[in-house]
Amino acid sequence: MEVNRQLYVFCLIVAFVGGLNWLVTGIRSMMEDNETVDDLLQLMMMPQQVSNIVYFLVFICSTLLLLPLLPKM
């Protein structure tokens, strides 16, 4: 039971950070007249491979958070 709670909290944090990254990227793009801008991971000079792993983690965590809601739809 405790593992499920820890996984849930971990997924919430990862999904929040991913959403915050998208929010900041969207705001920065709008401030630059809707031009393409680097997201926060690219601004931190992370290698693209590390950024891709973070993107995959955000997707997996978001999916895990939504799975319990699917039967209710």
Range of the structural domain that residue 49 is part of = 14-55
Domain count, the chain: 1
Residue 41 lies in a domain: yes
> DSSP secondary structure string, 13-66?
HHHHHHHHHHHHHHHHHHHTTT-----HHHHTT--HHHHHHHHHHHHHHHHHHH
Judged against a pLDDT cut of 70, whether residue 33 lies above it is answered with: yes
**Taking residues 53-68, what's their average pLDDT?**
92
pTM of the predicted model as reported, rounded to 2 decimal places: 0.78
Is 2 part of a structural domain of the chain? no
Task: Tell me the average pLDDT across 31-49.
Answer: 85
Q: How does residue 1 score in pLDDT terms, banded at 50, 70 and 90?
A: low
